[in-house]
Amino acid sequence: MIEVNDLTKVFRKPIRGNGLSGMVKTLFSRKYDEVRAVDGISFSVPDGEIVGYIGANGAGKSTTIKMMCGILTPTSGTVLIDGVEPYRKRRQVAQHIGVVFGQKTQLWWDIPLIESFKVLKEIYQVSDADYRERMDFLGEVLDITRFLSQPVRTLSLGERMRADLAASMLHNPRILFLDEPTIGMDVLVKEKIRLAIRALNKTYGTSVVLTTHDMTDIENLCSRIILLEKGSILYDGPLKSLKTRFGNIKTLTLTVPADIHAETAPVLSPEVAVSEEDGRLLLRFDADKIALEQVVQYAFRDLRAMDMKIAEISIGDVVKTILEQQEAEHAEKV
């Protein structure tokens, strides 16, 4: 159980000039800029839930994760991991959480992977029986057995990430923080990692907090998402409701004869937005306001469509729209 209450992290940065002379001036200046990386957020994650923690670059995701796992001390507010504040009782909490930062490995660079695991076994005081059981499980779901004797340095990015995931699960943590675990992976590795996360969640009931820019990760794994922007929570709730936040948006992609164009096409209703892309017509509409059937008929009869694809709005589009709206509002204020 994670409880986050009014959590805030402010970084104080000296205001810097540009170039060498500016940097020299900075040395004698006492002006500071305050960056509110995380600004009074609250949420809680019950046991066994997989939460997608998403937002643009620099929205404060990693900062929150770092506070939740005890690396950073909050400026104000609290984080409780099973009732304990991680930055105060770091060691106690560390025993029960696993963390993977996609950008940094936590394995020793130049020793065989299995040696890293042996050290971690001692660090987390994993019993021999548990260790064997865990290694069997992880070896299977993450497919790491093949390269256990290779130094981490020689592993590919995908292999290294799987190794890092395995290392973070070795002590059977109750909560797993994954900061962009699929960054830079190919589709197959991504799929493997998702399967492993799901298997772990199912087998051990591990809660997972996942940050990612890959919406497929979110749709595959998370029942709930938290959307962060400029340090504040924009949305916290089920994936489904976010999807229908802008209505039941559907997009029809049509292959039409060459003489049909978006500007000149007959209009069905102002509810249907018509646009053109790569010689195809795109019809975007809210299926709750105008019946799908009606639009399909219109497509075949008035637009003489030869082929058609119906797509629901993707979660990525929704997030993109929300973030764009936010940016526009922000620009207006300034």
Partner 1 sequence: MRYVHLYFTCIKRSMISRLEYKKDTIVALFSFFFSNLCSLAAIYFILQAIPALSGYSLPEVGFFYGFSMLPISLDHLFSDEFWLVAYRRVKDGDMDMHFLRPVPVMFQVFAETFQPEGFGELILGVALITVCALNLTVNVTFGAIVVLCVGAVFGAIIITSLKVAMSALAFIFKRSGPLLQVIYNFSSYAKYPLAIYPGLIRALLIFVLPFGLFISLPVDTLLYGKYNPWLLSLAIIGCAAVFFALATWIWTICERRYESTGS
Complex with partner 1: residue 62 or 206, whichever CB lies closer:
62
* Calpha distance 107→132 (Å, rounded): 19
227 scored as a contact of partner 1 (CB under 8 A): no
* Calpha distance 187→61 (Å, rounded): 24
Complex with partner 1: residue 171 or 192, whichever CB lies closer:
171
What phi and psi, each to the nearest 5 degrees, are found at residue 54?
Answer: -125, 165
- Give the count of residues interacting with partner 1 (CB under 8 A): 38
Of residues 112-131, those binding partner 1 (CB under 8 A)? 112, 115-116, 118-119, 122-125
179 scored as a contact of partner 1 (CB under 8 A): yes
Least distance to partner 1, CB of residue 65, Å: 9
95 scored as a contact of partner 1 (CB under 8 A): yes
Complex with partner 1: residue 52 or 74, whichever CB lies closer:
74
Per-residue burial over 255-268, b = 16 or more CB atoms within 10 Å of its CB, e = otherwise: ebeeebeeeebeeb
Complex with partner 1: residue 170 or 193, whichever CB lies closer:
170
Q: Using the rule CB under 8 A, which residue among 10, 11, 198, 314 binds partner 1?
A: 11
Complex with partner 1: residue 43 or 124, whichever CB lies closer:
124
Complex with partner 1: residue 102 or 158, whichever CB lies closer:
102
Q: Can you name the residues that pair with 9 across neighbouring β-strands?
A: 38
Residue span binding partner 1 (CB under 8 A) among the ranges 46-54, 65-73, 191-199, 326-334: 65-73
54 scored as a contact of partner 1 (CB under 8 A): no
Please state at what angle helix 113-123 crosses helix 157-169, rounded to 10 degrees: 20
Least distance to partner 1, CB of residue 83, Å: 17
Please state at what angle helix 187-204 crosses helix 128-142, rounded to 10 degrees: 140
Least distance to partner 1, CB of residue 304, Å: 52
Q: Taking Cα atoms as reference points, which of 163, 171, 202 lies closest to residue 96?
A: 171
Of residues 75-94, those binding partner 1 (CB under 8 A)? 87, 90-92, 94
66 scored as a contact of partner 1 (CB under 8 A): yes
70 scored as a contact of partner 1 (CB under 8 A): yes
Residue span binding partner 1 (CB under 8 A) among the ranges 99-107, 130-138, 141-149, 297-305: 99-107
Residue span binding partner 1 (CB under 8 A) among the ranges 23-31, 95-103, 265-273, 304-312: 95-103
Q: What is the CA radius of gyration of the chain?
A: 25
What phi and psi, each to the nearest 5 degrees, are found at residue 27?
Answer: -60, -30
147 scored as a contact of partner 1 (CB under 8 A): no
Complex with partner 1: residue 112 or 316, whichever CB lies closer:
112
Pull the structure tokens for residue 268.
């069905």
Residue type, 150: Q
Instruction: Write out the residues near partner 1 by the rule CB under 8 A.
Output: 11, 58, 62, 66, 69-73, 87, 90-92, 94-95, 97, 99, 101-104, 106, 108-112, 115-116, 118-119, 122-125, 151, 179-180
